[in-house]
Amino acid sequence: MDKSTPQAIHLKDYAPPPYLIDTVDLAFDLGEDVTRVRSRLAIRANPDAASPAGALVLDGQDMRLVSVALDGRTLDPSEYSVGPESLTIPGPPEAFSLEVVTELKPQENTSLSGLYRTSGNFCTQCEAEGFRKITYFLDRPDVMARYRTTITADALKYPVMLSNGNLVASSKMEGDGRHTVTWEDPFAKPSYLFALVAGVLVHVEDSYVTRSGRTVTLRIYVEPGNQDKCGHAMASLKKSMAWDEEVFGLEYDLDIFMIVAVGDFNMGAMENKGLNVFNTKYVLAKPETATDTDFLGVEAVVAHEYFHNWTGNRVTCRDWFQLSLKEGLTVFRDQEFSSDMHSRPVKRIADVQRLRAAQFPEDSGPMAHPVRPDSYIEINNFYTTTVYEKGAEVVRMIHTLLGADGFRKGMDLYFERHDGQAVTCDDFVAAMEDAAGKDLGQFRRWYSQAGTPELAVTGEYDAAARTYRLTVRQSCPPTPGQPTKLPFHIPLALGLLDPSGADIPLRLAGEPGPAGTSRVLDVTGPEQVFEFVDVPRQPVPSLLRGFSAPVKLRAPYTDDDLTFLMAHDGDAFNRWEAGQTLATRLLLDLVADRAENRPLELSPGFIDAFSRILKDPDLDPAFAAQALTLPSEGYLGQQMPVIDVDGIHEVRTFARRAIAGRLRDDLLATYRAMGGNEPFSIDAAAIGRRALKNLALGYLMALEDAEAVELCVGQFHNAQAMTDVIAALGLLADTRLPQRESALRRFYDLWKDEPLVVDKWFSIQAMSERPETLDEVAALLAHPAFEIRNPNKVYALIGGFAGGNPVRFHDAGGGGYRFLADQVLALNRLNPQVASRMVKMFARWRKYDPRRQSLMRAELERIVATPGLSRDVFEIASKSLEAS
């Protein structure tokens, strides 16, 4: 905790490290009370440093320094100085060895960063700056060293002791009941990829033979009793390994790959070299306990962390401003992997929904920052959806501009040039440019300019000349610190539909003949005109196919155009998009009607379009489920200058009832058709059928008639798969039915010993639209299964309420706001990273009406005025309050 006002760190101040560390030899003596760490470093002055090396300043915090020795000689305390976050040795030799001994108390570490305890085991998390809580070090990613790690601990309490690389030595129990192991990682790595795990763990094992014929041992370590939930993670790992070889020619490089699942973890998982540490949420899955969303999450996160081995570990980031170098690229890779494993359009829709739900608001709020930020106060606050998801969109645009082959050549060149190095986003773009021979100069602005660009497109058909002129204008709203923007290079993928719904062959003026029916236009100027020739009839343009750029599209479509595109667009993403655009328009009109006390009525044409989707036997059920889902309350709110929380909730509820009322029989038929009794399977088709079935049940429950309730209660009691149980329970939780309480009780009784399932129980209650939800959530804080030190519990209950229940969190009384601020302050002391994630829910306070604004602002002011605020919370809360 900082007493003074925390200071920002700037990209423009980057300088290479004055010293390099070639090898790190660590010895951990793990104890119940004190853990002792002996670190031996081979250090030398950096020949590429800007200025003479001077004093050696090592990072370190929250430890007790025991001793320092230089080239074997123990230093007198007068020969070094220790600050709250550093150890300084003035004027060391050009090259030397340094031995530092520190003592830690991992059992008191509630931040879950550095070395900490979880379920009695030891575990580390070093990204971004946790290694400095273990030992004094140059804790920055451009210092890459080879690590050797020895661990000694009680053999009964910690039978399993793991670190990065290969096991090179182990000694049996000594007379004192302790044992020792030594691990060696042959690959140089930054300190943030260091990991250690020790405790009572069991593992499931498999193996994988790489393309070049090496056998790799694969192990997933879990707490005893969870072995039966590792199959999906293991299968996902093997698929990821095969996919990376096939698509990018990248093989795994050690003899063993380990995953450890722990219950207390701040985020999803961590890609430590050879020893990934995972939140149990992204490992443990079996049909009885995990939903389809969980299964897909496990697959995607296992893949993501595995892919980091090349994009992140072998080639890492020079500094933390370059975080998207590894994260944006690795998210892109995991998205592509999941697309190949399942349905590409369905995956694309889910990814775009996520981008719009989280990244677009971030990009237009007080925390807006470029994909490569210019400054930060606390780097852990920048593991954002902008760095991750928008970063992935930026990589995807490069892929679109270069084509799959060009992109692959760029990746090959990137690894050829930079394997073993710590590099920048610019290095990545340069490799892409050089390999494909395409100028990405202007494109680089995607890394430096924040904000979501807007693309306004209009079309003009000239029947006599048979030409169709598209005028494209781009603009980008100001963001903090960036009042004006230069034009972006935007790949605009499009097609033109003729009146029958078929794609017209595309020929731009000046081209010798038509080529293809889908094109990527290079939009680079503030305003550009593209003229298509040989266009026989007035077309309907299908714009931004596949969401080819992370922008907001404005096009003057009529309702009929949208209905037409919904039915005919050859691009599945745009078929979905047309429906969403139409639904958004209609629902916002209804919100306005409600505000003006006009009667609400949902357009019959829209309901007919829904009916056609529902009855189309050729449609992929997964796609149909997405197409039949109305835009979320959050998304609708984003489209309004002042978010009308209650109006949106009421109108969306009204629309769901209107659709259900009109299409009741079709919904029932769909429910029954998708319900089949086939054995559980996790393939895309089965997931799609469950999604459509539960969507139908959701609409039917909007009517809450006897038949719907019976189906819902029956499904809750009889379903085998958690997906179906949770769908039913979530619907019951919104009602005042007598079955609600008994279902919630029964669910808890059944699953009280499965923490991940209990999390679902918390979040379902937190997201209930009933007016008493806040009181119930507050009461649940005292439930024996709730534990504020466990991030998953916080995300489920507090996060579920503040982030997943707009109508209750934003209750005009302000109780929700007070509740969240209280929790932020409680968490601030225990776990700043989790606290900071929670305080972000206030960031968009300026989007609400004056009354809610002042209530939220008061809570933010209360937080900022609290003494002992962590850098994490201070940065978010204070930036949220800054003038917009």
- Is 271 a binding residue for ligand B3K by CB under 6 A? The answer is yes
**At residue 64, what is the residue type?**
R
Residues 260/197, Cβ–Cβ less than 8 Å: yes
Using only C-alpha atoms, the chain has a radius of gyration, in whole angstroms, of 28
Give 386 or 449: the residue with its C-beta nearer to Zn ion.
Answer: 386
Q: Which does 267 bind (CB under 5 to 8 A by kind): ligand B3K, Zn ion, none?
A: ligand B3K
Backbone angles phi, psi at 664, to 5 degrees: -50, -50
Of 369-428, binders to ligand B3K (CB under 6 A) are 380, 383
Task: Measure the CA–CA gap between 253 and 117, rounded to whole angstroms.
Answer: 30
Question: Minimum CB separation from ligand B3K for residue 466, in Å?
Answer: 51
- Is 362 a binding residue for ligand B3K by CB under 6 A? The answer is no
Stretch that binds ligand B3K, among 29-37, 269-277, 481-489, 725-733 (CB under 6 A): 269-277
CB burial of residue 193 (10 Å; 0-12, 13-18, 19+): buried
Q: Which does 635 bind (CB under 5 to 8 A by kind): ligand B3K, Zn ion, none?
A: none
- Which residue among 45, 89, 128, 346 contacts ligand B3K (CB under 6 A)? 128
Task: Measure the CA–CA gap between 603 and 606, rounded to whole angstroms.
Answer: 5
Distance of alpha carbon 196 from its chain centroid, rounded? 24
Give 275 or 496: the residue with its C-beta nearer to ligand B3K.
Answer: 275
Give 257 or 762: the residue with its C-beta nearer to Zn ion.
Answer: 257
Q: Within a 10 A sphere around the Cβ of 829, how many other Cβ atoms?
A: 15
Give 128 or 250: the residue with its C-beta nearer to ligand B3K.
Answer: 128
Task: Measure the CA–CA gap between 109 and 94, rounded to whole angstroms.
Answer: 36
Q: Which does 343 bind (CB under 5 to 8 A by kind): ligand B3K, Zn ion, none?
A: none
Stretch that binds Zn ion, among 38-46, 323-331, 728-736, 816-824 (CB under 5 A): 323-331
Give 185 or 872: the residue with its C-beta nearer to ligand B3K.
Answer: 872
For residue 824, give the H/E element and its range.
Answer: helix 815-830
Q: Which does 127 bind (CB under 5 to 8 A by kind): ligand B3K, Zn ion, none?
A: ligand B3K
Q: How do 540-543 and 490-497 pair as beta strands?
A: antiparallel
- Is 320 a binding residue for ligand B3K by CB under 6 A? The answer is no
- Is 139 a binding residue for ligand B3K by CB under 6 A? The answer is no
Task: Measure the CA–CA gap between 817 and 801, rounded to whole angstroms.
Answer: 11
Give me the torsion for CA of 627, 628, 629, 631, rounded to 10°: 70
Q: Within a 10 A sphere around the Cβ of 759, how many other Cβ atoms?
A: 22
Of 692-751, binders to Zn ion (CB under 5 A) are none
Active site residue 336: no
Of 486-545, binders to Zn ion (CB under 5 A) are none
Give 265 or 530: the residue with its C-beta nearer to ligand B3K.
Answer: 265
Task: Measure the CA–CA gap between 59 and 136, rounded to whole angstroms.
Answer: 5
Beta bridge partners of 478: none
**At residue 313, what is the residue type?**
N
Residues 867/147, Cβ–Cβ less than 8 Å: no
Q: Within a 10 A sphere around the Cβ of 144, how many other Cβ atoms?
A: 18
- Which residue among 270, 435, 722, 757 contacts ligand B3K (CB under 6 A)? 270
- Is 267 a binding residue for ligand B3K by CB under 6 A? The answer is yes
Question: Minimum CB separation from ligand B3K for residue 333, in Å?
Answer: 11
Stretch that binds ligand B3K, among 10-18, 242-250, 300-308, 747-755 (CB under 6 A): 300-308
Stretch that binds Zn ion, among 73-81, 97-105, 330-338, 508-516 (CB under 5 A): 330-338
Site size toward ligand B3K (CB under 6 A) is: 12
- Which residue among 142, 223, 264, 327 contacts ligand B3K (CB under 6 A)? 327
Stretch that binds Zn ion, among 314-322, 325-333, 342-350, 809-817 (CB under 5 A): 325-333
Show Cβ contacts of residue 791 under 8 Å, excluding neighbours closer than 6 positions. Answer: 112, 264, 265, 266, 267, 279, 831, 834
HSE-CB at 859 with a 13 A cutoff on CA atoms is: 27
Task: Measure the CA–CA gap between 592 and 20, rounded to whole angstroms.
Answer: 63
Give 139 or 633: the residue with its C-beta nearer to ligand B3K.
Answer: 139
Backbone angles phi, psi at 354, to 5 degrees: -65, -45
- Which residue among 304, 356, 810, 844 contacts ligand B3K (CB under 6 A)? 304
x-or-dash string of contact with ligand B3K, 78-117, rule CB under 6 A: ----------------------------------------
Catalytic pick among 129, 271, 305, 389: 305
Stretch that binds ligand B3K, among 97-105, 229-237, 268-276, 482-490 (CB under 6 A): 268-276
Tokens coding 877? 């809360």
Cis ω on the peptide bond leading into residue 128 (within 30° of 0)? yes
Per-residue DSSP letters for 553-587? EE----HHHHHHHHHH-SSHHHHHHHHHHHHHHHH
Binding site for Zn ion (CB under 5 A): 327, 330
**Residues catalogued as catalytic:** 305
Binding site for ligand B3K (CB under 6 A): 127-128, 267, 269-271, 304-305, 308, 327, 380, 383
